[in-house]
Chains A and B, each alone.
Chain A
Amino acid sequence: MRRLNALISLEIYALVLTAVQLIGGVRTDEAKYLLNIPYPHPPLVRTLLSWTEFLPFQECLWRFLFASLLAQAVWLVWDLGRGLGRRERMFLSACWLLASGVLLQAGGIYLVCFTALQALCFLWLVARMPSTGKYAGWVALLWLASLFTAYQAALFLPLVCAYFLRAKISWEERIAYVCLPPLLLILYSLSNPLSIASMFIHGGRDLNSSIPMRALGTLRVWMLGGSLLLSIAGTIGIFWSKRWELILSFLLVSAYVALSRYDYYMVLFTPFFIVGLAVLLKNRALPKVIINAGIPLLVIATIITVFFFPPILKRDPSRAVMRSIASERRGDEVLIAGSFGHQWQYESTLPVRSYSPNWLPHARAVICLQPCGDMAMHEGWVRKEESGVEVWGRE
């Protein structure tokens, strides 16, 4: 009964976080996965997402599923605390649920949320699974699935190596289970040159950033991962553990974030902070007064973090604009002038092209995200405004 109550409470928590994320509407990165656009990530999870494209509530469904997965992952965190007292396990679990990394990302349709869950799985496997090798094949499939979810899963190679080195299996199996999945990922990447090209483009982003700027950006994401307090405690615990696979994987994640510095990578840190905190608790390195005051302190730290780095609460105009166009009759394309994100494709039921006067005969509407000065010269078009965006429709 207690477990059922906990399950239901976690789902209510996931529902609240979903509702918050729904306010901002679909963002460009989320639209990429919902529409199964083949970059930058491998196809496993984005293909699953696209199978539900026909559902009018596709966005709601996946926000809720992603939020539920992150919330229910607390059962793994609870198990990571095995051997601790009930109070310490509650503290550890509360840290997962209240960390700003989970709070701000749960309900977002980002593959990094899946990757963070996979990281938690690998951390749990290394910490808790017996070394009999009984489940080595399934773990290898999890490793393959992680790599085919998002490239970032490669950062967990040290954890995977540690698991298979301890597992009582032959060396041939070890090599096959560890090496074949990344080789298959390389094969997939070669079959999709756009994903390779996008890696170079994103890798070149902010190349001119100075080292202090990069360090500050990385620090920001690190802090957001654990509401600062959990970030500090978790990082100390990671290095205290002297576990090479944990430290190496954490450093790889940090290096990756230093190169990329998108805020949504914050949730990649959270599983590592939780394991670091568990190490401190198991070694009785935290005074009782901190454990007792820990949850209120974390709540205050999270409130402050969310206050300064709030989720997106301003809705993108794409949905309102596309809905206003849908009622028009003539034309079977939408033209957009200026740079536009994939959320415009997601909200449209018609093909989208970049604006050019050549395509006006086929167009239902022209959306001007940058001024379309020459539209006034074309007969049969009237200017409107929808949600602050200049839109031209047919008379």
Chain B
Amino acid sequence: MKRSIIHQRLVFGCVVLLLCALYIPRVWALRLLYLDSTVRMHVQRELTEVATEEGWLVSDIIVRSVSEDAVMILHRGHIRGRDPRACFVLPFRSELKRPCDV
């Protein structure tokens, strides 16, 4: 029984560490979105504008990282089969979006 309990603790611990390793870097890349209301406002505006211009659904847009002057997004058009993907950097002070690596 003791071995089984140790085994359970190990598995639980490994899963927790794996999820932390997966999500902490992503949250770190988005920290300004939560800490800075001005950046948050810019991101919201950029997402709404790009969704309207491109005819995208907001649910197909993933925010990858946020800096003080730009937001990096991944657009993934959810369809049956292979989803088309495109990455863009949207500067806050410019209308031009730049492609980036998916």
Contact = CB atoms under 8 A, between A and B. Distances in A.
Contacts of B12: 137, 140-141, 144, 176-177
Nearest to A32: B59
B32 to A, nearest CB: 11
B100 interface: no
A348 B80 contact: yes
Contacts of A342: 59, 78
A103 B24 CA distance: 41
B42 to A, nearest CB: 13
A348 B80 CA distance: 6
B50 interface: no
A41 to B, nearest CB: 12
Contacts of B54: 353
Majority SS of interface residues in chain B? helix
Given A194-B58, A194-B63, A135 B81 contact: no
Given A187-B23, A193-B63, A335-B55, A53 B80 contact: yes
Nearest to A198: B59
A354 interface: yes
B76 to A, nearest CB: 9
A70 B59 CA distance: 30
A355 B55 contact: yes
Contact of B79 (A141, A180, A192, A345): A345
A35 B78 contact: yes
B26 interface: yes
A359 interface: yes
A188 B23 contact: yes
Contact of B80 (A136, A138, A349): A349
Interface string B61-98: 11100000000000001111100100000000000000
Given A39-B59, A194-B59, A348 B79 contact: yes
B47 to A, nearest CB: 9
Interface centre among B23, B24, B63 (most CB of A within 10 A): B23
Interface in B8-55: 8-9, 11-12, 15-16, 19-20, 23-24, 26-27, 30, 33-34, 54-55
Interface centre among B20, B60, B84 (most CB of A within 10 A): B60
B82 to A, nearest CB: 9
Contacts of A349: 79-81
Given A144-B15, A180-B16, A351 B84 contact: yes
A190 B55 contact: no
Interface string A171-184: 00100110010001
Given A35-B78, A345-B78, A349-B81, A356 B55 contact: yes
A353 B84 CA distance: 12
B102 interface: no
B78 A191 contact: no
A345 B77 CA distance: 8
A231 interface: no
A236 interface: no
A346 interface: yes
A203 interface: no
A134 interface: yes
Given A37-B78, A38-B62, A354 B5 contact: no
Given A188-B19, A194-B59, A354-B56, 14 more contacts: A35-B78, A39-B59, A53-B80, A136-B5, A137-B9, A137-B12, A141-B11, A141-B12, A173-B9, A187-B23, A187-B24, A190-B23, A345-B78, A359-B55
16 contacts: A35-B78, A54-B81, A134-B1, A144-B12, A187-B27, A188-B23, A191-B27, A194-B58, A345-B77, A349-B81, A352-B57, A353-B55, A354-B55, A354-B56, A355-B55, A356-B55
**Ranked 9 nearest A-B pairs via Cβ:** A137-B8, A353-B55, A191-B26, A354-B55, A351-B77, A35-B78, A190-B27, A187-B23, A191-B23
